[in-house]
């Protein structure tokens, strides 16, 4: 029997306990969507709070109808709304029926600084976009009747500062020209861009769950014979100390395969079905699903199991291990090769607004292109992305919103404190997902500045104990000879644009330049696997030229083919004994909106393999063919000490 343990010990639950469980409906919980049209207005003079708009029965005119979830920027024809910097206000009234002892108002995300008032009283503030925050409504409901009218008013500010993530600086050129100067390449979409949900719980309730595979035992044929999962349950509410807990793991046929009545313990599963990543020879295609268990947690009073106080279920428990060697990334002890495409949460009209149609299309296209990975560039995505990734076995590199950290003053103590806060929020939200196999703490920070070194040293020291078994990657555009921070990380991610941002038009230089670049990282860090975390070129769909010239579909296709020659020479998939290159992620899946500039035609970054409307360019077929071929490459299991 071989026992496999995770790279980093299971990070137990005392360090971070306040994960916000995804709102679900069960026999003890109700949910209700507050999505739809909200009343909305700009606060161009920043007077809303001092004029107490939060306590008025209506927001002062002019208001407009605004959909939630959506970024507000592209919904109207008004350029002032499109480029607004500062506060915007949203308001909605709803009836709350007294059908549960506790109702929670949950914002799946709002960008970036949010203040929420319920019935005129301050309820919750939150800094940072992309991640959820919530407030218990109960203290704000004063009427004792069966139904109350609730007014929720939300102010959201998209001004970025030297201590926000991402950072930015407001420059006031004159009273009518305010500019938010940022160092990143996405349009600064803002507003309530993810769903707003009401959910109920009992007085005492399952507040948090942490679960992870601790180990899997394999027989000599590499069949899993048993698996051990560590878990911890936190109970919230008034009666938490008298309640009993039952934790059950249920397989896809509805059979209970393990159970335990401790709030913190382990579950042992005999003959487990493993969660496998898609798109490898030994696993399933990315159009088919991985094996998932359901974790059911029941709280009950002694002797009254059939009348549970609370029931919560996580339907995406995957049994799998992660281990890193100096040249391979192993999932369930088999080599995994990351071959997917990065993307943005970005689409026409909605901007960053969450949309189920866009979500479903996204995953259908991963299936089409045989892509088995995405990095949540450049911020945590909506939780629904991770849930579908769990289902299909698409591997996720979870990334914080630390982009554009290109100035010395951004590496301050206050920024470090905020960076830690968003890491904790991201980890506590996403750590139970089997699809999340790596954490990316930042994208292209100026990691050649001396000030970046103590910053990332402190950040990694803080992060490692709470990383729940996931290795840490730094994604850099620096080089082995000037980067000062890679030493702290487990995996090297490099973003490269040779023959695009340098060596214009010189496709012929790509293979040798990239090969030398990868080799120099390897000789500097011989024990860290490497992947190319971005590479790509702007391509105008329908623009052709032979021989290939920049911006044509031919150029994009040849560009990728030249990089692939460099990758294949050192690939850990193709050269299991000598390779150390563990993956490739083109930039990017879809064309996406950016600030306007002379290099962004129509305010769009055109590096997509697909248009913003999700139609393929020629290079998409090259990648599809390449990724499909990877599925024919058999993987071997190296036995290492
Ligand atoms: C990379 C950035 C990415 C940009 C890309 C580009 O990580 O956010 O969109 O460059 O310029 O350096 O297309």
pLDDT over threshold 90, residue 281: yes
Mean pLDDT along residues 443-460: 98
Residue 399 belongs to domain with CATH number: 3.20.20.80
Q: Is the CB of 534 under 6 A from ligand 1?
A: yes
pLDDT at 641 over 70: no
Say if ligand 1 is within 6 A of residue 185 CB. yes
Are 110 and 136 within one domain?
A: yes
Query: What local confidence, expressed as pLDDT, does residue 19 receive?
Result: 67
CATH of the domain at 153: 2.60.120.260
User: What pLDDT was estimated at residue 636?
Assistant: 86
Check residue 5 and give its pLDDT.
33
User: 322 in a domain, yes or no?
Assistant: no
**Residue 326, Cβ neighbours under 10 Å: how many?**
11
Residues contacting 353, CB < 8 A, separation 6+: 67, 69, 70, 71, 189, 191, 193, 194, 347
Q: Which residue is closest in CA terms to ligand 1's atom 10?
A: 185
Report the pLDDT value the prediction gives residue 11, as an integer from 0 to 100.
33
pLDDT for 2 equals: 37
Question: CA Rg, the chain, in Å?
Answer: 25
Residue after which a domain boundary falls, among 176, 201, 226: 201
What are 5-56's pLDDT values in tens digits?
333 333 333 333 356 899 999 999 999 999 999 999 999 999 999 999 999 9
CA of 594 to the centre of ligand 1 (A): 10
Task: Ligand 1, residue 607: give the atom nearest the CA.
Answer: 13
Q: Looking at ligand 1, which atom is closest to the CA of residue 378? A: 8
Of 331, 313, 312, the residue nearest 322 (C-alpha): 331
Instruction: Determine which residue's CA is closest to atom 9 belonging to ligand 1.
Output: 185
Whether residues 193 and 252 share a domain: the answer is no
Cα(224) to centroid of ligand 1, in Å?
A: 41
- Residues 6+ positions from 226 with CB-CB distance below 8 Å: 216, 217, 268, 269, 270, 271, 272
Residues above pLDDT 90, as percent of the chain:
93
- Does 474 lie in the same domain as 406? yes
Q: Which of 376, 49, 379 is nearest to 190 (CA)?
A: 379
What is the pLDDT, as a whole number, of residue 18? Answer: 59
Of the listed 345, 383, 444, 554, which one is catalytic? Answer: 444
Q: Which of 383, 370, 493, 489 is nearest to 436 (CA)?
A: 383
Q: Read off the pTM.
A: 0.95
In a domain, 370, yes or no: yes
Give me ligand 1 centre to Cα 185, in Å: 6
Instruction: Please report the atom of ligand 1 found closest to the CA of residue 477.
Output: 12
Which residues constitute the domain of residue 230? Answer: 2-16+203-317
Ligand 1 contact, 587 CB (< 6 A): yes
**Which of 317, 343, 367 is the last residue in one of the domains?**
317
Whether residues 74 and 6 share a domain: the answer is no
Whether 605 lines ligand 1, by a CB cut-off of 6 Å, is yes
Assess whether 530 and 407 both reside in one domain.
Answer: yes
Q: Let me know if residue 69 belongs to a domain.
A: yes
- Does the structure show a pLDDT above 90 at 4? no
- Is any ligand 1 atom within 6 A of the Cβ of residue 443? yes
**pLDDT tens digits, residue range 566-607?**
999 999 999 999 999 999 999 999 999 999 999 999 999 999
- Kindly write down the DSSP assignment for every residue of 197-219, as one continuous string: EEEEE-SEEEEEEEEEEEEEEE-
593 is a domain residue: yes
In short, whether 444's Cβ falls inside 6 Å of ligand 1 is: yes
Domain count, the chain: 3
Instruction: Give SS3 for 384.
Output: helix
- 322-336 mean pLDDT: 97
Q: Packing angle between helix 510-524 and helix 553-570, nearest 10 degrees?
A: 40
CB atoms within 10 A of CB 172: 10
pLDDT tens-digit profile of 182-219?
999 999 999 999 999 999 999 999 999 999 999 999 99
Question: CA-CA distance, 474 to 490, in Å (whole number)?
Answer: 8
Q: What's the confidence (pLDDT) of residue 637?
A: 85
pLDDT cut 70: percent of the chain above it:
96
Measured by CA distance, the residue closest to atom 6 of ligand 1 is 185
Q: Clarify whether residues 268 and 136 are in a common domain.
A: no
Q: Does 372 map to a domain?
A: yes
For the stretch 346-398, pLDDT in tens is 999 999 999 999 999 999 999 999 999 999 999 999 999 999 999 999 999 99
User: Mean per-residue pLDDT for 540-555?
Assistant: 98
**What's 295's domain CATH number?**
2.60.40.10
| For ligand 1, atom 8: residue with the closest CA | 185
**Residue 498 lies inside a defined structural domain of this protein:** yes
Ligand 1 centroid vs 355 CA: distance in angstroms?
24
Domain termination residue (choose one: 177, 201, 225): 201
Q: Are residues 257 and 393 in the same domain?
A: no
Q: Is 61 in the active site?
A: no
Whole-number pLDDT of residue 639: 52
594 lines ligand 1 (CB under 6 A): no
- Say if residue 119 is in the same domain as residue 214: no
Q: How far is the CA of 553 from the centre of ligand 1 (A)?
A: 19
pLDDT per position as a tens digit, 220-243: 999 999 999 999 999 999 776 789
535 C-beta closer than 6 A to ligand 1: no
Question: Domain check: are 544 and 447 in the same one?
Answer: yes
Residue 324 in domain = no
Helix axes 383-392, 356-369, angle to 10 degrees: 30
Kindly state if the Cβ of 477 falls inside 6 Å of ligand 1.
Answer: yes
| Distance from C-alpha of 245 to C-alpha of 238, rounded to nearest angstrom | 15
Same domain, 138 and 214: no
Same domain, 267 and 364: no
pLDDT at 144: 72
Domain-embedded: residue 635: no
Mutate to test the pocket of ligand 1, among 587, 591, 592 (most ligand atoms within 8 A of CB): 587
Coil/strand/helix, residue 506:
coil
Same domain (yes/no): 344, 449: yes
């Amino acid at each position: 029997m071989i026992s496999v343990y995770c790279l980093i010990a299971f990070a137990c639950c005392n360090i971070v306990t306040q994960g916000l469980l995804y709102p679900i409906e069960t026999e003890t919980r109700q949910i209700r969507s507050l999505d739809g049209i909200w009343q909305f207005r700009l606060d161009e003079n920043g007077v809303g709070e001092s004029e107490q708009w939060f306590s008025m029965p209506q927001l002062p005119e002019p208001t407009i109808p605004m959909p939630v979830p959506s970024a507000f920027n592209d919904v109207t024809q008004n350029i002032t709304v499109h480029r607004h910097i500062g506060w915007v206000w949203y308001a909605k009234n709803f009836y709350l029926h007294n059908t549960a002892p506790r109702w929670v108002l949950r914002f799946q995300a709002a960008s970036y600084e949010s203040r929420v008032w319920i019935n005129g009283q301050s309820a919750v503030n939150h800094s940072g976009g992309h991640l959820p925050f919530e407030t218990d409504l109960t203290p704000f409901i004063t009427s004792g009747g069966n139904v109350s009218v609730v007014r929720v008013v939300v102010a959201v500010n998209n001004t970025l500062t030297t201590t926000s993530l991402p950072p930015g600086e407001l420059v006031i050129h004159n009273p009518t020209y305010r500019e938010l100067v940022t160092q990143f390449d996405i349009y600064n979409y803002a507003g309530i861009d993810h769903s707003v949900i009401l959910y109920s719980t009992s007085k005492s309730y399952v507040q948090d769950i942490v679960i992870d595979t601790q180990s899997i035992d394999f027989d000599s044929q590499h069949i899993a014979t048993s698996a051990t999962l560590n878990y911890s349950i936190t109970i919230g509410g008034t009666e938490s100390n008298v309640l009993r807990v039952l934790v059950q793991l249920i397989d896809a046929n509805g059979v209970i395969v393990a159970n335990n009545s401790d709030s913190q313990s382990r579950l042992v599963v005999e003959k487990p079905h493993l969660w496998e990543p898609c798109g490898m020879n030994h696993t399933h295609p990315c159009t088919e699903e991985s094996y998932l268990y359901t974790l059911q947690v029941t709280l009950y009073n002694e002797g009254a199991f059939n009348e549970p106080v609370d029931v919560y279920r996580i339907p995406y428990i995957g049994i799998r291990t992660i281990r890193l060697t100096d040249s391979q990334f192993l999932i369930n002890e088999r080599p995994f090769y990351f071959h997917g495409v990065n993307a943005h949460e970005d689409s026409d009209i909605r901007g960053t607004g969450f949309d189920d149609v866009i979500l479903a299309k996204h995953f259908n296209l991963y299936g089409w292109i045989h892509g088995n990975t995405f990095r949540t560039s450049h911020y945590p995505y909506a939780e629904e992305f991770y849930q579908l990734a769990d289902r299909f076995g698409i591997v996720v590199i979870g990334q914080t919103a630390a982009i554009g950290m290109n100035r010395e003053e951004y590496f301050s103590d206050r920024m470090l404190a905020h960076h830690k806060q968003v890491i904790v929020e991201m980890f506590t939200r996403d750590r139970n997902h089997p699809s999340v196999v790596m954490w990316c703490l930042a994208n292209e920070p100026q990691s050649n500045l001396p000030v970046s070194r103590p910053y990332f040293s402190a950040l990694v020291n803080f992060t490692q104990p709470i990383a729940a078994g996931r290795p840490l990657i730094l994604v850099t555009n620096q080089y082995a000879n000037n980067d000062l921070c890679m030493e702290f990380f487990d995996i090297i991610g490099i973003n490269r644009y040779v023959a695009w941002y340098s060596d214009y038009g010189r496709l012929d230089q790509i293979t040798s330049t990239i090969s030398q670049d990868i080799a120099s990282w390897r000789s500097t860090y011989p024990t860290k696997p490497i992947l190319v975390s971005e590479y790509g070129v702007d391509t105008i769909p329908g623009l052709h030229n032979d021989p290939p010239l920049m911006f044509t579909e031919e150029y994009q296709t040849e560009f990728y083919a030249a990089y692939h020659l460099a990758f294949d020479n050192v690939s850990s998939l193709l050269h299991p004994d000598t390779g150390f290159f563990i993956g490739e992620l083109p930039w990017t899946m879809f064309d996406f909106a950016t600030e306007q500039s002379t290099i962004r035609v129509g305010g769009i970054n055109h590096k997509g393999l697909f248009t913003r409307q999700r139609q393929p360019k020629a290079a998409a077929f090259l990648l599809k063919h390449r990724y499909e071929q990877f599925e024919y490459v058999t993987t071997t299991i190296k036995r290492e000490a």
